[in-house]
C-alpha cells in the first residue's frame, strides 16, 4: 500500500501517481520528491495523473504537505489530473487551491483513467493547434 509512481507512456510524458489503500504523509513527501527528480530528468513538459481509485481517505496532516509540493514542483510539470478523488479529497482540493495556487491552476478532476488521458490529449492538441 502507499503511493507508487510509474510512467504512463513510453515517451515518458505522463507520470502516474497511484494511491493504494492507506497512505501516509511520509508516503506523499516521498512521492513528491521522486516525481520532482523524474521530471527534472526531462527537458519537456510532463503531465501527471493522480490515480486515487483505490485510495483510502487522506491521512491527518496531509494539507501541510502542499506547501512543500508547491516549492518542489519543477517548471516542466504541467497538468495534474486527479482520477476519482472522492468526497473528502474533493473538499481538500478546494482548500489546496488557496494553500498552493501555483500547482492548483492546472489541476483537474475526472472519474476515469480514460478521461484523464483524453483530457491530456485534448490539452496537447490545443497547444499544437495554437502554435
pLDDT at residue 131 is higher than 50: no
Using 50, 70 and 90 to split pLDDT, how confident is the model at 1?
A: confident
In this prediction, residue 108 carries a pLDDT of: 87
> Is 2-130 CATH 3.30.750.24?
yes
Read off the pTM.
0.86
In this prediction, residue 79 carries a pLDDT of: 93
pLDDT tens for each residue of 7-63: 999 999 999 999 999 999 999 999 999 999 999 999 999 999 999 999 988 898 888
pLDDT tens for each residue of 27-41: 999 999 999 999 999
Spatial separation of the C-alpha atoms in residues 64 and 95, rounded to whole Å: 11
Ranges of beta strands (E only) in the chain are 2-7, 14-21, 46-55, 77-83, 107-110
**C-alpha separations of 125 from 113, 114, 122 in Å:** 18, 16, 5
Using 50, 70 and 90 to split pLDDT, how confident is the model at 5?
A: very high
Cell digits of residue 23: 497512505
Amino acid at each position: 500500500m502507499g503511493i507508487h509512481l510509474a510512467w504512463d507512456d513510453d515517451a515518458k510524458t505522463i507520470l502516474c501517481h497511484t494511491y493504494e489503500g492507506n497512505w501516509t504523509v511520509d508516503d506523499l513527501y516521498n512521492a513528491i520528491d521522486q516525481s520532482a527528480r523524474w521530471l527534472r530528468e526531462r527537458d519537456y513538459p510532463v503531465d501527471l495523473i493522480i490515480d486515487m481509485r483505490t485510495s483510502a481517505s487522506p491521512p491527518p496532516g496531509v494539507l501541510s504537505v502542499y506547501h512543500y509540493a508547491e516549492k518542489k514542483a519543477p517548471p516542466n510539470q504541467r497538468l495534474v489530473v486527479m482520477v476519482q478523488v472522492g468526497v473528502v479529497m474533493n473538499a481538500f482540493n478546494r482548500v489546496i487551491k488557496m494553500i498552493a495556487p501555483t500547482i492548483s491552476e492546472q489541476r483537474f478532476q475526472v472519474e476515469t483513467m480514460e478521461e484523464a488521458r483524453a483530457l491530456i490529449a485534448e490539452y496537447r492538441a490545443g497547444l499544437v493547434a495554437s502554435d
